[in-house]
Amino acid sequence: MATPPPLQSTFIHAAVYSDLFLRMASQIFPDVAYLALSDDQRRVAQNETDNLLLRSKLRVESRMLSTNFAFQNPDQSQVTPADTVWGAPLEAPKADAKAPGQYV
């Protein structure tokens, strides 16, 4: 069984990711320069960058899935009117009817 090749990173991908990472770090920690961030703060910025990329990837994939495999809404001319059930008018409730479970 063949294994898929590893993800191929290019210089452009690395540059775009680092730009996004630096923007996220400056958004999360606005008063601290990047070189002054602690290891924990850098880890937080990296996790948030990865979460943002994953969320955008899932949004794109779900949009592609819905356009390719989703069921279309039925034609609204075939829907029964709101006051009917299967085309028959609803019956008014009887005044002397007991609630369900009332045997007295």
pLDDT one-digit tens code per residue, 25-83: 999 999 999 899 999 999 999 999 999 888 888 888 777 777 777 666 666 665 666 66
Q: Where are the domains of the chain?
A: 32-69
| pLDDT tops 60 at residue 2 | no
> Looking at 1-15, 26-40, 78-92, which range is the least confident one?
78-92
How far lies 33's CA from each of 1, 20, 23, 27, in Å? 48, 15, 11, 11
Predicted local confidence at residue 67, as pLDDT:
75
pLDDT value at position 44?
A: 93
For residue 74, what pLDDT is reported? 62
21 to 13, 79, 103: CA distances (angstroms): 12, 50, 70
Return the biggest CA–CA distance within the chain.
Answer: 81
Residue 85 buriedness (CB in 10 A; 0-12 / 13-18 / 19+): exposed
